[in-house]
Chain A
Amino acid sequence: MLEIKNLHAGIEGNEILKGINLKVNAGEVHAIMGPNGSGKSTLAQVLAGREEYEVISGEVFYNEKNLLELNTEDRAREGIFLAFQYPVEIPGVSNTNLLKTALNEIRKYRGEEELDTIEFLALIKEKMKLVELDQKFMSRAVNEGFSGGEKKRNEIFQMAVLQPKLAILDETDSGLDIDALKIVANGVNKLRSKDNATIVVTHYQRLLNYIVPDFVHVLYKGKIVKSGGKELAFKLEELGYDWVKSDVAETVAG
């Protein structure tokens, strides 16, 4: 589904990603872990098409399409969804307005009929249960005045409505208490299927107790330095990132 080949990217002249290689197939969950500043969020933003980031070299294919040639909105319409680390507050735009516009633009792009208000309301009612959000929340402005947990739940709710093929969760767990974490993880797990894939970007192993990954990758200084199964996450939790850092140093020295 997704293939990243030797990707170099950065912002304002600083190279942050220094040769990423990653292959994600349908039905898989990949966790990308790493210390702060290793480039995890940059990778997420580059995949979603944030214009401020500059791709220096490398290729990204998504379902046989050159992803880097697609603009942000078309990537979303092709089925990529980024759950933001810091969801943006947009005063004056209601959650309903955002979701209905987004959903119908995506449907239009795919040549599907737009949903009318009744169909739309039925859909969101069903999806809201998934992340235990109250109906009242739909008329509120996007993320405005939401608690940290509400913002993250809102991201997962949007994901549930838009039904992406590839979801990228950027630090969706950070700052969440265990109850909110369970709700978010439960939402993600219910959306898992053999047809779609998830990339979970996280600093902490804790989330991976609830969203069990098929593969774990460790990102350090802009490169994937280790890949393995879920046991890699446990080892990281136990030994800390210093283990990776020293390991890399050794490799370089050796």
Chain B
Amino acid sequence: MDKTIEIKDWYISNFGEFEKRLNGGSESSIHKKRKEALSNFSRLDFPTIKDEEWKYTSIAPLLKHNFIPSYEKKNISKEFIKSLLFDEMEHSLIVFINGRYSAENSVLLNLPEGVIVGSIADEIKKKNEVLLKHFGKYADHQNHIFTALSTAYTEDGAFIYVPKGKIVEEPIHIIFITSSADKKILIQPRNLFVAEKSSQVTIIEHYACDEESTYFTNAVTEIVTEENAVVDHIKLQEESKKAFHIARMEVDQEKNSNFSSHLISTGADLTRNEFNARFNDEGGECTLNGLYMIDGTQLFDAHTLMDHAKPHCNSHEHYKGILDDKSRGVFNGKVIVRQDAQKTNAFQENNNILLSDESLVNTKPQLEIFADDVKCSHGATIGQMDDEAKFYLKSRGIGEEASKGILLHAFASDVVTSIKIESVRNYIEKIITKKFN
């Protein structure tokens, strides 16, 4: 307990230094939010396994380290960045190194007029009205200590704005690279994506590191999909197995909007991904898909909340996990269908394959239904690799390892094939191949 307080003091004590570095930026309304969030942070406690929402995920290992906010500018080799790109694609790329926008590595291509893609720090400086309207509105920092920490230290992250009716045809690839060497650094990407009425955009949030080191990523992403807007979001998490990754995504869905999220993760030491989406009006469609592949002593926790607040909305959720060695997985998917939300269709499923005797999954699909004319289902499975299928493949001359790879690819395939862009799918196939072949 005492240790936890020390850690909190540590994060609070860094704030003075942080403020100095803001260099005049401390006058803005955003800064008021930062300070509010800091006081929330000092009031709130870090969760323990006594909290229902953190029952299976102990963050004690995270609290053992004094992570330092990263200020240094780092250079990353072009080759490394190239290894993170999708083949045969010409699209906008924005790169963040240790949480800070790297203009020299970023390139903006084929963006329709009025679309903004770039650093949130720049937009804070410019007092961008869209930013001021939406920032911090969806990811509440009153009750969530990690969001409070993120909000207090808001500095940089990705900002994407797609004005009314604009279609961004090519995906926007955002890469967050951590290069910490031997320093235990704290990276806090703070992202805001706003798609206005009838606009369309595909955004890839990609987390990577250049070496296996210990660092802490605390990411918050807010997404606004206005009426009739279509937003596809893909998150790729390829981080160090010694890293800590706490992330939260909040999605606001307006009338007839269509949002989809795909998470592909090879985990970290400890990963917590929260995906929360809320239908604020009728006719919305939301897909939440995920694939986690972990081993060693990794812990991966996916927490999702699908809030059907209004009628005539559809949600589909499918998370799949492959766990080896002593790794642990947590899936907690909650679907709330509120009293108003008649004619809701909500489907949720979580399937897991355990490759070892010592791996473990705690899965908890939850449905809370307060309306009476709805179609909802949920389910979870935990199983082993299908030995019959493996024998079948081997009896055709395919070796043990290749057979295993084929079957795990197959297990993952419905999550991967639901991603629309071929080159992204190919990239993900490579991640899976690297993992299992």
Which A positions have Cβ atoms within 8 angstroms of B?
48-52, 71-73, 75-77, 81-82, 84, 87-88, 90-93, 97-99, 101-103, 105-106, 109, 141-142, 158, 162
Which B residue's beta carbon lies closest to that of A102?
A: B396
Beyond A48-B395, A73-B394, 17 additional pairs, beta carbon < 8 A: A49-B395, A50-B391, A72-B391, A72-B395, A73-B400, A76-B395, A77-B397, A81-B395, A88-B386, A90-B407, A91-B410, A98-B406, A101-B402, A105-B397, A105-B398, A158-B396, A162-B396
Q: Which residues of B contact A98 (CB under 8 A)?
A: 393, 396, 398, 406
A76 to B403, CA, bound (A): 14
**Closest partner residue, chain B, to A86 (CB atom):** B388
Residues of A within 8 A of B386 (CB): 88, 90
Q: Which of A48, A71, A90, A106 has the most CB atoms of chain B within a 10 A radius of its CB? A: A90
Q: Judging by beta carbons under 8 Å apart, are A73 and B397 in contact? A: yes
Beyond A84-B392, A90-B389, A90-B392, is A102–B397 a contact (Cβ under 8 Å)? yes
B391 touches A76 (CB 8 A): no
Chain A residue with minimal CB distance to B392? A88
Across the interface, which residues of A come within 8 angstroms of B395, CB to CB? 48-49, 72-73, 75-76, 81-82, 84
The list of the 5 closest CB pairs from A to B, nearest first, reads: A92-B410, A76-B397, A102-B396, A92-B413, A72-B394
- In angstroms, Cα B396 to Cα A106, docked, is 9
Contacts of A73 in B (CB 8 A): 394-395, 397-400, 403
How far, in Å, is B396 (CB) from chain A's closest CB? 4
What separation, in Å, do the CA atoms of A82 and B407 have in the docked complex?
20
Once bound together, how far apart are the Cα atoms of A162 and B395, in whole Å?
11
Interchain CB contact under 8 A, B413 and A87: no
SS of B interface (majority): helix
Please measure, in the bound complex, the distance between the C-alpha atom of A78 and the C-alpha atom of B255, giving whole angstroms: 62
Binding site for A on B (CB under 8 A): 386-389, 391-400, 402-403, 406-407, 409-414
| Cα distance, A142 to B398, chains bound together (Å) | 15
Q: How far is the CA of A50 from the CA of B388 in the complex (A)?
A: 9
B233 to chain A, nearest CB (A): 24
Contact: A109 with B389, CB < 8 Å? no
Complex interface: chain B residues within 8 A of A88 (CB): 386, 388-389, 391-392
Closest Cβ neighbor of B410 among chain A residues: A92
Given contacts A77-B397, A109-B397, A158-B396, contact A90 B410 (CB under 8 A): yes
Chain A: CB-nearest residue to B408: A92
B400 in contact with A92 (CB, 8 Å): no
B397: nearest chain-A partner, CB-CB:
A76
Interface centre among B393, B396, B414 (most CB of A within 10 A): B396
State A121–B392 Cα separation when bound (angstroms).
Answer: 22
A–B pairs, 27, beta carbons within 8 Å: A48-B395, A49-B395, A51-B391, A71-B400, A72-B391, A73-B394, A73-B397, A73-B399, A75-B395, A88-B392, A90-B386, A90-B389, A90-B393, A91-B410, A92-B409, A92-B410, A92-B412, A93-B406, A98-B393, A98-B396, A98-B406, A101-B402, A102-B396, A102-B397, A105-B397, A105-B399, A142-B392
Complex: A141 Cα to B406 Cα, angstroms: 12
For A81, list chain B residues within 8 Å (CB): 395
Tell me, in angstroms, the Cα distance from A97 to B395 when the chains sit together: 15
Which residues on A sit within 8 Å (CB–CB) of B392? 84, 87-88, 90, 142
Which residues on A sit within 8 Å (CB–CB) of B412?
A: 92
Nearest chain A CB to B71 CB, angstrom units: 46
Docked Cα-Cα span, A141 to B386, in Å, equals 15
List, in ascending order, chain A residues with CB within 8 A of B407's CB.
90, 93
- Inter-chain contacts of B414 with A (CB < 8 A): 92
A92 to B418, CA, bound (A): 13
Closest Cβ of chain A to B407, distance in Å, is: 7
Which of chain B's residues have a CB closer than 8 A to the CB of A158? 396
Docked complex Cα distance between A98 and B393 (Å): 7
Chain A residue numbers with a CB within 8 Å of B403 are 73
The distance in angstroms between the C-alpha atoms of A73 and B386, with both chains bound, is 17
Please, which residues of chain B bring their CB within 8 A of the CB of A102? Answer: 393, 396-398
CA distance A91 to B387 in the complex (A): 14
Per the bound structure, the CA–CA distance linking A162 and B393 in Å amounts to: 13
CB distance from B370 to the nearest CB of A (A): 35
Q: How far is A101 from B410 in the complex, measured between Cα atoms in Å?
A: 14
Contacting residues, chain A, for B394 (C-beta < 8 A): 49, 71-73, 76
| B393 CB → nearest A CB, Å | 7
CB distance from A111 to the nearest CB of B (A): 14
**Given the complex of chains A and B, what is the CA–CA distance between A81 and B406 in angstroms?**
20
Q: How far is the CA of A238 from the CA of B354 in the complex (A)?
A: 52
Contact of B411 among A75, A92, A109 (CB under 8 A): A92
The answer on a CB contact under 8 Å between B388 and A101 is no
| A204: min CB distance to chain B, Å | 24
- Considering residues A76, A84, A93, A162, which has the most beta carbons from chain B within 10 angstroms of its beta carbon? A93
Closest chain-A Cβ to B291's Cβ sits at a distance in Å of 12
Least CB distance from B20 to A in Å reads: 55
Give the shortest distance, in Å, between A47 (CB) and chain B (any CB): 10
Complex Cα distance, B390 from A52, in Å, reads 12
User: What B residues does A92 contact at CB under 8 A?
Assistant: 409-414
Chain B residues with CB below 8 A from A106, complex form:
397
Q: Separation in Å of the A184 CB from the closest CB of chain B?
A: 18
Please, how many angstroms separate the alpha-carbon atoms of A109 and B410 in the complex? 25
Which residue of chain B lies nearest to A87 when distances are taken between CB atoms in the complex? B392
Residue in B closest to A50 when the chains form the complex, CB atoms: B391
